[in-house]
Amino acid sequence: MHIGKVSLVAFGILFSIVGYSQGVNSSLLEIAKIQDSGIKSKRISSYDRSGKNDDRLTNIEDGKRVTIFDVKGSGVINHIWITIAPLNPDITRNDIILRMYWDGNEYPSVESPIGPFFGQGWNESYNFSTLPLAAAARDGNALVSYFAMPFEKGAKIEIENQSGKTIHAFYYYIDYQEYGKLPEGLGRFHAWYNKKLTFAPENGETEWNYPREYSVNDCEDENYLIADIRGKGQFIGVNYYVINPSPMWYGEGDDMFYIDGDEKPTLHGTGTEDYFNTSWSPNEEFQHPYFGAGRVNEKVGWLGRTHVYRFHITDPVYFEKSLKFSIEHGHANGLTLDLASVAYWYQGKASSIPQAVSKEDRQPLPEIGVNEIFRWRQEWRKNKGNKKDLWGNE
């Protein structure tokens, strides 16, 4: 199977472990292969160099940047594990920034709050399990990555504490394979965090033809942007975080991939839940290795917070020159939503990405609850003349 210079070999290390196979090869057969003697297993961790049990970085003050990985030469990072104290919500993972630099570049190719990168939305922690990423026990406080992250001229990973508090303990493993010469065709791993409060049309929100008929999306630039990439590579997934301020279904919006400058979507989907491989406006937790819902709201309808994800493990989206991936916020962008996302992709060379959203703009909007709904009802009653027998479906 020919897959070009920017190949999925970078993912092959991951696939062989978890069961993805081509032809008759199985995962157990793959890990039985004796590797080239030029490959060496290496690790950088927070172990106590004194031999005691203080295996952590301590007292990382607010505003401080700390480099946790700085390696020269060629290699592939294949495993990251991190846990942090205090636990959520005393220090939210939304306010600790993760950056990764490849091949000696001064600019990062990965920049994201550490929680959303690993599948922890907002200021919460919960168990989350996928093929490349996990937030594991206890209570989702073990952050794990199995993404393959190749580098040829060195790699650096840093964190920045923007929490306003001191990180008392930061534990980590970063396992990698050292190569004398990196195999040909391995792309560089990229990840980008975005967040936006989407706006409703001037004539108000609408969905499912209520309170008026569907509109037409005649301005796709108003879609929520998940990725806007220049170069050659393949898109491999997204974590998508929704705060919905109403009980109405949020997911009629179509997904749209524009490949290599196409003026209209090269790949045009049929709805948010369809892109995430679910159906019929789901509101239940479901975790498949490639797709699912790591967290769903627990309120009326679809009011509140939902985290859905999809990884293009066997179906990457390939592009030669560029890729723009966006999604409607409600059909024809008819809803106000607080949206955030982390997009993941490989490129032929390490490229810069837009700077992460500022701490102030990154804060999730407050959730809407029963008190707000009751106030809405009072305004509705006034609109109906405050008749004593009003029920709610008039």
In this prediction, residues 57-62 reach a mean pLDDT of 96
pLDDT at 71: 97
pLDDT in tens, 126-137: 999 999 999 999
Let me know whether 286 and 213 are in one domain. yes
Q: Do both 225 and 76 map to the same domain? A: no
CA-closest candidate to residue 376, choices 284, 268, 245: 245
Q: Specify which residues 229 forms β-bridges with.
A: 323
Last residue of a domain, one of 168, 186, 204: 186
Question: How far apart (Å, rounded) are the C-alpha atoms in residues 75 and 7?
Answer: 16
Q: Residue 143 and residue 61: Cα distance in Å, rounded?
A: 21
147 and 232 housed in the same domain: no
* 230 and 142 belong to one structural domain: no
Angle formed at CA 98 by CA 325 and CA 174, multiple of 5 degrees: 110
pLDDT at position 359 is 92
pLDDT band at 59 (very low <50, low <70, confident <90, very high): very high
DSSP SS3 for 28: helix
Is 280 in the same domain as 244? yes
Return the H-helix or E-strand segment holding 11.
Answer: helix 9-18
Band of residue 19 on the pLDDT scale cut at 50, 70, 90:
very low
Q: Is 209 buried (19+), middle (13-18) or exposed (0-12) by CB count in 10 A?
A: exposed
- 394 found inside a domain: no
> What is the Cα–Cα distance from 187 to 347, expressed in whole angstroms?
5
pTM recorded for the entire structure: 0.91
Let me know: does 141 contact 135? Beta carbons within 8 Å. Answer: yes
Average pLDDT for the chain: 90
Phi, psi dihedrals of residue 42, rounded to the nearest 5°: -135, 160
**Alpha helix segments (H runs only) across 39-160:** 114-118
pLDDT value of residue 26:
54
16 has a pLDDT exceeding 80: no
pLDDT of residue 355: 84
Query: Three-state secondary structure along 367-383?
Result: CCCHHHHHHHHHHHHHH
What's residue 2's pLDDT?
37
Task: Report, as an integer, the average pLDDT of 255-273.
Answer: 96
**In this predicted model, what pLDDT tens digit does every residue of 156-175 receive, in sequence order?**
999 999 999 999 999 999 99
Question: Distance between CA atoms of 257 and 24, rounded to whole angstroms?
Answer: 33
Q: For position 245, which CATH number holds?
A: 2.60.120.1390
Burial class (CB in 10 A: 0-12, 13-18, 19+), 201: middle
Contact 241, 121 (CB under 8 A): yes
151 and 233 together in one domain:
no
Residues 174 and 197 both lie in one domain: no
DSSP state of 187: P
Q: CA 151, CA 76: separation in Å to the nearest integer?
A: 6
In three-state secondary structure terms, 297 is coil
Look at residue 103 in the predicted model and tell me its pLDDT: 97
For 250-263, what is the mean pLDDT? 95
The reported pLDDT for the residue numbered 175 is 97
pLDDT of residue 339 exceeding 60, the answer is yes
Do 90 and 195 lie in one domain? The reply is no
Same domain flag for 284 and 261? yes
Query: Both 248 and 332 in a single domain?
Result: yes
**What is the pLDDT at residue 231?**
96
> DSSP state, 95?
G
27 pLDDT tier (thresholds 50, 70, 90): low
User: What are the tokens at 98?
Assistant: 């993760």
Rounded to whole angstroms, the Cα distance separating 272 from 258 reads: 17
166 shares a domain with 260? no
How many angstroms from the chain centroid is the CA of residue 27?
26
Q: Who's near 342: CB < 8 A, 6+ residues apart? A: 112, 116, 117, 191, 192, 193, 238, 239
Domain assignment of residue 205, given as a range = 189-347+364-377
In this prediction, what percent of the chain has a pLDDT beyond 90? 76
The 10s digit of each residue's pLDDT in 78-93 is: 999 999 999 988 999 9
Residue 310's SS3 state is strand
In this structure, the answer to whether residues 169 and 59 fall within a common structural domain is: yes
Average pLDDT, integer, range 287-316: 94
- The rounded distance, in Å, linking the Cα atoms of 123 and 145 is 20
- pLDDT tens digit string along 183-223? 899 999 999 999 999 998 888 888 898 888 877 876 678 99
